[in-house]
Amino acid sequence: MKKWLLSALMLLPSLALAEDAPTLDSGDTAWMMMSAALVLLMTPAGLALFYSGMTRSKNVLNTYAMVLMAFTVAFVVWIAVGYSIAFGTAESAGVQTVMGGFGNMFLDGIKWTDLSGTYPTYVFVVFQGTFAAITVAIASGSVIERMKFSTWLVFVAIWVGVVYAPITHMVWGGEGAYLFDLGALDFAGGTVVHMNGGLAGLVLAYLVGKRTGYPKIAMKPMSVMLTALGAALLWFGWYGFNGGSAFGANAIAGLAYLTTTLATAVAAITWVLIEWIVYKKPTLLGAASGIVAGLVAITPAAGFVDVGGAMIIGSVGSAIAYFGVAALKKKLGYDDSLDAFGIHFLAGLWGALATALFALNDKDLLWDGPLKESGDRIGQFMVQLESVAVVGLYTLVGTVIVYFIASALTGGGKVDEETEQIGLDEAFHGEKAINL
C-alpha cells in the first residue's frame, strides 16, 4: 500500500504539467479536418466550374486546368516553403514583421504529434494550404483564354512563396508580425485571400494584354448552368472557409455559419434586384455572381458581426461588385475576363473596411486592436485602412515582379494569335470539352 501511494505521489507533478499542456480535442480535430476538405472542394470543383462556365467553349478545359493545376502547384509550394514563410519564426525581430523564417521548410521540425491548440498541426498546415491555393487560382479568372499555360504554372509556383506567404504572415502570423501587431481584423481572408487574388488578377490582365477582339466581339459564356453549379459548390465549401477560421467546433464557428449564410443570401437578392431594375431581366448569372460577392464581402467579418452587420455587408458588397463588373471595367477598359478584380478585390476591400464599422464590441470575439482595447471604432477603421493599403501595395509590386520573371522563363506570357483563335483546348491541350 505504501509503495503504491509513493508511486502516485511521484506522478503528481507530471499530471499537473499535463493539465497545463494543450490536449487534442476530437471534436475540434474532426471539424478542422472537415473544414480543410470543404475549402479544398472550393478550388478544383467550385471555382473551376464557376470560371469554366463563363468562358467560351473553345477554352473551357484550359480554364478548368488553370484552376486545377494552380491548386496542385500551390499546395506543393506551400509545403516546401510557403508555410514556413507564413507561420514560421524568423531569426530576427526585424524580419519577423514581414515574414517568418525558413526553419520549417518541407515541414522540418514539425512532428505528427504536434498540436495547434486542440488539433494536430498537420491539419492546420493543410487547412492553410487550401487558402493559399484558392487565392492564386482566383487570379486566373482575369487572364483565361490568352495566358500561356507554362507561364501560369511558373507564376503560381513563385507567387505563392513571394507574395501570398508574406502577406499571410503579416496578417495572421502572430506576435511580431506587422499587421497582426497593428490590430488588423481579418477573420478568414478579406485581405489575405480576396483582395490579394483579385488585385493580382487585375495586374496580370494589364500585363498579359487583352483577348483578340475584346471588347468588340461578343464573348458569350459556354454554360451558365456550370457557373451556377460552381457558385453553389463555393457557397457549400465556404462554411469550411469561414467556419473553419474559428479553429474549432465552437460558438464563433456557429456565428460565422450564420453570418456567412445571411450575407450571401442578401447579396444574391441585391444583385438580382439591381439587374431587374436596370435591364428588366433578372439573370441566373447575376444571382451566381451575387452569391460569390456576398461570400467574399462577409469573409473578413464573419466571426465579428451580428445579423444586422451581415445583412449590410452582404448587400453593399454585392452592389459594389456589380458596379465593378458592369461599370468600372467598361470605363477603365481592362479585360478582366471573369471579373476576379470586380468581385473579389472590390467586395473584399469593402468587407475589410466594413469590419471596423460593424464588428461587435465584444472582447470574446475580437483580437487585439483599437476596438478591443478601448472601443475606438475610428481607430480600428484607420488600422483596417492601413492594412488594405499595405496588402494592396505589396500585391501590386510583387505580382508585377513575379510575372516578369515567369514570362522571361517561358518566353513570353501570352499565347500567339493563331492559338487564341483556334482555342487553347485544341491548340494546346489537344482536347475538346464535348466531342459530338
What pLDDT, on a 0 to 100 scale, did the predictor assign at position 354? 98
DSSP letter string, 268-313: HHHHHHHHHHHHS---HHHHHHHHHHHHHHHGGGTTT--HHHHHHH
Q: Phi first, then psi: give them for residue 145, nearest 5 degrees.
A: 80, 0
Dist. CA 31–CA 412, nearest whole Å: 44
What pLDDT, on a 0 to 100 scale, did the predictor assign at position 233? 98
Answer whether residue 20 is part of any domain.
no
Dist. CA 264–CA 434, nearest whole Å: 33
Helices and strands, number each (H, E), in the chain: 22, 2
Query: CATH no. for residue 206?
Result: 1.10.3430.10
Q: Across the 436 residues of the chain, what is the mean pLDDT of every consecutive 10-residue run?
A: 37 42 91 98 97 96 98 98 94 85 95 96 98 98 97 98 98 95 96 98 97 91 96 98 97 98 98 97 97 98 98 98 96 94 98 98 92 95 98 98 98 95 95 81
Q: Please report where in the chains the cell 464573419 appears, as a residue.
A: 302
In the chain, the number of structural domains is: 1
Answer whether residue 175 is part of any domain.
yes
Q: What is the pTM of this model?
A: 0.93
Task: Please name which of 322, 313, 86, 329 lies closest in space to residue 201, comparing C-alpha atoms.
Answer: 329
For residue 229, what is the enclosing H or E element? helix 224-238
What residues contact 174, with CB distance under 8 A and at least 6 apart?
87, 180
The angle formed by the CA atoms of residues 97, 296 and 386, to the nearest 5 degrees, is 35
- For residue 378, CA distances in Å to 190, 317, 355, 363, 382 come to 19, 20, 11, 17, 6
Length of the chain: 436
What are the start-end ranges of the H helices in 333-432?
Answer: 340, 346-358, 370-374, 377-409, 417-422, 424
What pLDDT, on a 0 to 100 scale, did the predictor assign at position 177? 95
Task: Dig out the grid coordinates for 418 from the structure.
Answer: 493563331
Task: Dig out the grid coordinates for 88 from the structure.
Answer: 514560421
SS3 assignment, position 147: strand
Instruction: List the domain range (segments joined by +) for residue 135.
Output: 29-426
Dist. CA 13–CA 188, nearest whole Å: 39
Answer whether residue 432 is part of any domain.
no
Residue 369 CB coordination number (10 Å): 21
Answer whether residue 66 is part of any domain.
yes
Answer whether residue 433 is part of any domain.
no
Answer whether residue 267 is part of any domain.
yes
What pLDDT, on a 0 to 100 scale, did the predictor assign at position 21? 65
Q: Please report where in the chains the cell 468588340 appears, as a residue.
A: 216
Answer whether residue 434 is part of any domain.
no
What pLDDT, on a 0 to 100 scale, did the predictor assign at position 313? 98
Burial of 271 (0-12, 13-18, 19+ CB in 10 A): buried
What pLDDT, on a 0 to 100 scale, did the predictor assign at position 17? 40
What pLDDT, on a 0 to 100 scale, did the predictor assign at position 34? 98
Answer whether residue 436 is part of any domain.
no
